[in-house]
Amino acid sequence: GAVVSQHPSRVICKSGTSVKIECRSLDFQATTMFWYRQFPKKSLMLMATSNEGSKATYEQGVEKDKFLINHASLTLSTLTVTSAHPEDSSFYICSARGRTSGIMHKMGETQYFGPGTRLLVL
């Protein structure tokens, strides 16, 4: 199956610093990338959707100036948590959706998740 990587896998930072998380699709072109956040024992919450070459679309309640998303190429999207605070500590997961050659209803099979990045802000 398709592979999506994330880097770093874990990061610990001081409050007030910025952290950049990279998401790469390794063997396919990701036309759309999604960023999720997951708190312990909770479900995945979609933060934003980014399409290559255009601005990200943020979900309600997600501050776009705090969570900067750049989808500069068809294989790379970055999430930068600016001025991180302890409440931003969470598991951040990206997923990528590639070009579909099949019919519309098979779109669901083409979202692949990265391994996640665990962020701890002290």
Partner 1 sequence: GQSLEQPSEVTAVEGAIVQINCTYQTSGFYGLSWYQQHDGGAPTFLSYNALDGLEETGRFSSFLSRSDSYGYLLLQELQMKDSASYFCAAQDQNFVFGPGTRLSVLP
- Residue 114 binds partner 1 (CB under 8 A): yes
Cis omega (within 30 of 0) for bond into 86 = no
- Residue 61 binds partner 1 (CB under 8 A): no
Q: Which is nearer to partner 1, 22 or 82 (CB)?
A: 22
- The β-bridge relationship of strands 76-81 and 111-113 is unpaired
Helix, strand, or coil (residue 86): helix
Specify burial of residue 61 (Cβ count, 10 A radius: 0-12, 13-18, 19+).
Answer: exposed
Minimal distance, residue 88 CB to partner 1, in Å: 19
Q: Which is nearer to partner 1, 7 or 82 (CB)?
A: 7
Q: Which is nearer to partner 1, 85 or 106 (CB)?
A: 106
- Residue 100 binds partner 1 (CB under 8 A): no
Which of 12, 72, 107, 122 is in the footprint of partner 1 by CB under 8 A? 107
